[in-house]
Amino acid sequence: MLNRTADSVARATPEPLARKVRGISDKGLAWLFISPTILLLLAINIFPLFWAIYLSFTNFRANRPNEVAKNLGLANYKRILADQDIWIAMQTTAHFVFWTILLQTLIGFTLAWLIDRKFRGHAFWTTIILVPMMLSPAVVGNFWRFLYEPQIGLFAYAVSFVTGIPATEISMLSNVSLAPWSIIIVDTWMWTPYVMLICLAGLRSIPEYIYEAAEVDRASNWRQFWSITLPMALPFIMLAVLFRGIENFKMFDMVNLLTGGGPGSTTEVASITLKRQAFESWRTGYSSAFAIILFVAVFGLANIYVKALNKVKQR
């Protein structure tokens, strides 16, 4: 009863006043609700970003805060683009991103395609498969060092058991040609479930009647796979590739603990170079410039990719 009275009062009064009767205006409330988040992001993300942009034009060193930083203009950027080590790090990153995404997409899609047969107990086994991706890459990556130990490690033992190569000779982390694969294996182990889960959603989104129609048309299984399954799941596969691509481009924790960029700099991906420059050599200005270049690269590539993704979706 009371509510109805309040409402009739509110309805009788002119609009602006009615809103006051009902509390804060919608517009006020909208800003009240959104602004704390925006303010927090401005303080913790955007302000530091601008600071980094400023630093990237100087020769500031964080371990000598009292020294006056000199303005260098674009010198840092020019030096980075001419720096051999940076280009090698970018190649290492590209190698890592390419192989992890290729393996994860192939294995992940295959697993999803198999799970989609809905055999008995598929829900349980899917949950088991998903476990590795929820764990901390740092803590689990650290433990893989033990699994990779040449003689006593389980991985070396398993490989030598299968291939017959003596277990003492399988030193994944200290062999220059094997070390890049050691990080690819762990990343693939962890994140294949991620790609699998997204692909599974894609496969389940394909309506059954399309297959029924294909079956009526006597399309072979092979043909159905290439003309229905794959194209219709493609936007999902691309989405998985986008997320994994961004994540692996920034990859730091697992690699830092597993190899620390070594041996030498064979597994030194961009984030490791950045950490070495910023927190070991303390070249803050220089590393800020590198950070900005990396950010622009991720942002630019992601934008181009999203445009391509939207085109595929619209088809």
Among 72, 249, 267, 268, binds another protein (CB under 8 A): 249
CB of 294 to another protein, least distance (A): 6
Q: Does 137 bind another protein (CB under 8 A)?
A: yes
Q: Does 68 bind another protein (CB under 8 A)?
A: no
CB of 251 to another protein, least distance (A): 9
CB of 218 to another protein, least distance (A): 9
Assign 11 to helix, strand or coil. Answer: helix
Q: Does 270 bind another protein (CB under 8 A)?
A: yes
**What's the one-letter identity of residue 139?**
V
Using a CB cutoff of 8 Å and minimum separation of 24, what contacts does 298-304 make?
298/246, 298/249, 298/250, 301/245, 302/242, 302/245, 302/246
Find, among 144, 140, 181, the residue nearest to 266 by Cα: 181
257 in Cβ contact with 146 (< 8 Å): no
Q: What is the per-residue binding string for another protein in 20-39, x denoting contact by CB under 8 A?
A: --xxx-xx-xxxxxx-xxx-
Q: Which of residues 44-63 bind another protein (CB under 8 A)?
A: 44-49, 51-52, 55, 62
Assign 58 to helix, strand or coil. Answer: strand
Instruction: Give the residue with the Cβ less far from another protein, 10 or 88.
Output: 10
96 in Cβ contact with 272 (< 8 Å): no
39 in Cβ contact with 46 (< 8 Å): no
Other CB atoms within a 10 A radius of the CB of residue 261 amount to: 21
Dihedral pair phi/psi, residue 109, rounded to 5°: -65, -40
Distance of CA 220 to the CA centre of its chain: 37
Q: Does 10 bind another protein (CB under 8 A)?
A: yes
Among 79, 181, 275, 305, binds another protein (CB under 8 A): 275
Q: Does 129 bind another protein (CB under 8 A)?
A: yes
Q: Does 238 bind another protein (CB under 8 A)?
A: no
**What's the one-letter identity of residue 36?**
P
Q: What is the per-residue binding string for another protein in 184-223, x denoting contact by CB under 8 A?
A: -----x--xxx--xx--x--x---x--xx--xx----x--
Q: Does 17 bind another protein (CB under 8 A)?
A: no
Dist CA 250 CA 27 (whole Å): 38
**What's the one-letter identity of residue 211?**
Y
CB of 238 to another protein, least distance (A): 11
Residue 36: exposure state from Cβ atoms within 10 A (0-12, 13-18, ≥19) = exposed
Q: Does 256 bind another protein (CB under 8 A)?
A: yes
CB of 146 to another protein, least distance (A): 5
Q: What is the per-residue binding string for another protein in 103-122, x denoting contact by CB under 8 A?
A: --------x--xx-xxxxxx
Q: Does 138 bind another protein (CB under 8 A)?
A: yes
Q: Does 84 bind another protein (CB under 8 A)?
A: no
Q: Does 182 bind another protein (CB under 8 A)?
A: no
Dist CA 60 CA 86 (whole Å): 20
Compute how many residues bind another protein; rule: CB under 8 A: 113
How big is the CA angle at 211 (ends 210 and 214), to the nearest 5 degrees? Answer: 90
Among 69, 88, 90, 147, binds another protein (CB under 8 A): 147
Q: Does 292 bind another protein (CB under 8 A)?
A: yes
Q: Does 99 bind another protein (CB under 8 A)?
A: no
Q: Does 229 bind another protein (CB under 8 A)?
A: no
